[in-house]
Structure 1
């Protein structure tokens, strides 16, 4: 066919063997074979494979093949033309094409790495094959497909073919009239409520207390009970600024079952309604807290007076906190904050001075550009007023003029967050003036000050470092035996290890702590620059 779209399979191959003979037997004949192939289904609790049913068409005119997949309702798989008409090469790589001799009933044929099981053919195809000397096997049936079986069962229930399933569909009044004309007795069941109570409706006020759940809230509803047919509807009551979508209905009018899992439990009746009673509205437990005057009068006449209303305590919403506007950069930030206290009388801010101490750290650019390689800076942190300055020592023949890189100013990062003492440790990264600095070294007075104030500098406390190190290793599933073997493999001495060797051992375990860890542990436990492995393990896992 000139309108068919061919799959590119290389250059046109000449017909050989049985393909040439079959083509010469009849110039225009289409043979139809019924087949299937199995497709694996992963991660499905319903099936592990699926049977794909196909019809294979063989055109004797040019020995071309077309495959159409039978359509199945709601299969979720695109079906129809599975393989467009063209000459199909053999799957073993030989130059021959798949011919009529390869299509045997009861056999298999592999087309583009898919194995098709041929189970039957139509009557004209069988007669043609017998007349031309081709073997015709016994017809087979399609194998049982679990998905197809369960799907047919579901569709029989949904479509109404299964009479044992109740769909709760109310009959059309004209259908009832037609059945009455044919002699069927018309039942008046369901009309006694209208004859007795007419259109009376009982209104109850309910609450759903879901505050114990995450993001739960206390919600209010109105429950309407229609006496004529024992149906219930639930309306949502949203207060002002509730922030909820204005959906008026929680439950559309209908009969409300007491238990979804037990059909014999029945439906809610007006005798089940009372102040303090709980109504299960599809897994939402609504508590009746009050009723209108009309329901109270009705229950009083029935000899079942309702109790007094229940008062629900509601928590007042928290008052919004005052938001501090961002610092404008004019004057000091402390002076600007005095205008946010609510007082019209401005007073000078009280300065809380700390210890007259300067902490110095040697740092470099983190991920420096090629032109900034080798530049070093000294960050000076003034404890007395929590200010910070950056100075670059001059280097001869470097081409960069040293001096003040950042003048002394309040210690804040580029994002505006203040720099606290616990942010200062070896290996830390500080973002200042749009540049990221990596703290590499410090002097002895700074280390002593950090060790004297472990609350402000937690990474200078050996016990805190050991606890954090043990927690990280435990989270990675590293026990003492595995750690000891790793330390011994990296150690260059008997039962001892250097800080660099400890760093390599931890890196092998996919844990790279900052440099401050090793400095703190070295100053606390190392002797002559080496750790005793057993002492270190005993302190770490004690």
Structure 2
């Protein structure tokens, strides 16, 4: 830059030297305080003088080197010895003038020597409750030697084990050094002696002797010692208070014992939907006395006791306070040692039983008292009787004949009677299930015996309805003979407080005689649905149980099996091999001859139907009728998840196969919640298109379900179980009986053969 003389140094008054092309930046890190920072410098020339290595290039006042010749570091000492410190353990004696029997005290220090610059630092480790300001005694610095060498500084040659050194008018005696210091001095050619024991401190020994005397005395209990040791530590127990009386109950409680001040509180645990509300505090926090004799009278318990009171007026009153509190009564309170599982606490007259405790409480008693058994005690319920309480059974007045028995019972139980409750689950399960029987009226009038009735039994509510079939020129109009109602069994006392027993479905069977509303009916037949329903529920209807019937026939035919077979065969037949089928009348005659009154007509019909020789002709379902029923169920349930159904079919059929198995379609209809009962699903699958392997066509199934693909005529609601597709066989089932199957099921041929062989 060129500057015009006499002009200020401002922008525009300087000119750049255009001829200059090199602009070097000054280097200031090549040397620092006369020390070269380059690694390629030559090592110092060392000369051995009297066992010490001295650099000849340094001035005569330089410190002698501690390294042997030609082994010194190439780096400067502040880099080579960075963070390398020699540590020594030492002590010094401090004179005491005010302590009895202790002329001095020994104070332990740590001497650190920094190799990088020859500085030293002395620190004293802190001791708790020593009463001495400890810490750093001498800050890091170069320490001069004592006179007459005060011009020199303490070096590494002056520090060694079992040597004394004076630092600022204090004499320190070095007793030991660390491992790094010992190795460093040994490599430097300085021998390090063995460690020296520290002297005994008289003041410390005096404190130990005084501490032994204090420990021999009983420890003083501080008022806050228990609080500081057990603050926020709580023992938690579970228990109950048996308050069962006429209107009481078992109260479940939570007992908390606070170890900080030996207090207790009790909270009540309200069960769900118990009807109780308000604060759950059963006992507020405080010390619980072990004995309770009632509440004290006013003035009975006072903090101070007066021995005498003298004086006639309020001004001249003199009294003496009892300093010993002789009249004070000692009150015992519950402590942690009194609380265990099964213990009964006297909570101001209420017996509270402890039944269980939490994990912390178990661990506390396990460590403190060595208790290992923490088995929970049982809690009585409302139905248990800890004390025998006799509850009188409520006796209702007898039935007076007005209305039904349930209505009269409701008027006696409540002031505001409610309608009798019915079994709703039974109604939903058995709705529209009706058993129909054909019956005749037994009467002394000849014309009544020729009348034909139909008895309908409704399984949903156990009601009975009777209709009469009108015949021409009989003189009877027919129609409803008895309204639908429940009928009690005959032979019961009517005007009583007990509920009557009504007719049940197992009381109705072919051949039964019963009294219904003062009329005697004899059941002579049943429709096909009734017979099938009873055969499918043999445990509810013993007259339709083929296993028990055949077992009864087998036991009766054991004695005369050959004669029974001869009675079953028609006239002219010599053996069973010649006859394969027999008629219903032949088997009925043989069974009545064998069992007499022990077998009913219904049981005979059950046997003949089971071993029937006739086969029902194949009956097919009408496709349009089934589709109309399917669409009717979809409309009634407002089902509109056609897209979800297609998505589910695509998920289970990713390859878009044209046919799927019936099992997958059944699970699909169930997963997509199609409102179809199992019978309707069977009918639906039976009318769809199938391949040779029995699989159903997927497109036909979707078109069949889709209500927008072709409309179908609406149909009236029907019983899908039996009316949609004709599953009931033809009415002449059981007219012919397969005698060979009957005898094979009976199983008496194998037992009769050995007897014939023995006789021959």
Structure 1 and Structure 2 fold alike (TM over 0.5): no
Give the TM interval when normalised to the shorter protein.
0.3 to 0.5
Could you say which structure has the larger radius of gyration? 2
TM-score between the two structures when normalised by the length of structure 1: 0.37
